[in-house]
Homo-oligomer: A and B are copies of this chain.
Amino acid sequence: MSRPPLAREKVLDAFEAILIDAGERAATMDATARAAGVSKGGLLYHFASKEALEGAIVERLRALVDADVTQMAAAAEGPIAYFLRTSVMENDPLDRAILASSRLAQGGNQPAREVLREIRERWADALRAHAKDATALDLVMLVSDGLYFNNALEGGSIPGPVPQGAELDALIALVERAARA
* Interface residue ranges, A against B (CB under 8 Å): 22-26, 80-81, 84-85, 88-89, 102-103, 105-108, 113, 129-133, 136-137, 139-162, 164, 168, 171-172, 174-181
CB pair B103 A179 closer than 8 Å = no
On chain B, the residues within 8 Å of A154 by CB distance are 105-106, 113, 157, 159
Minimum C-beta distance from A178 to chain B (A): 4
CB-defined A-B contacts under 8 Å, sample of 28: A22-B107, A26-B108, A84-B172, A84-B175, A85-B168, A85-B172, A88-B162, A102-B155, A105-B154, A106-B154, A131-B180, A132-B181, A136-B180, A140-B175, A140-B179, A142-B146, A142-B147, A143-B143, A145-B146, A145-B150, A149-B149, A149-B158, A150-B159, A150-B160, A151-B162, A152-B157, A152-B159, A155-B155
CB pair B142 A143 closer than 8 Å = yes
Known A136-B181, A150-B160, A178-B178; 16 more pairs at CB < 8 Å: A22-B107, A24-B107, A88-B164, A105-B154, A131-B180, A132-B181, A133-B181, A136-B179, A139-B175, A140-B175, A144-B146, A145-B145, A147-B162, A150-B159, A150-B162, A155-B155
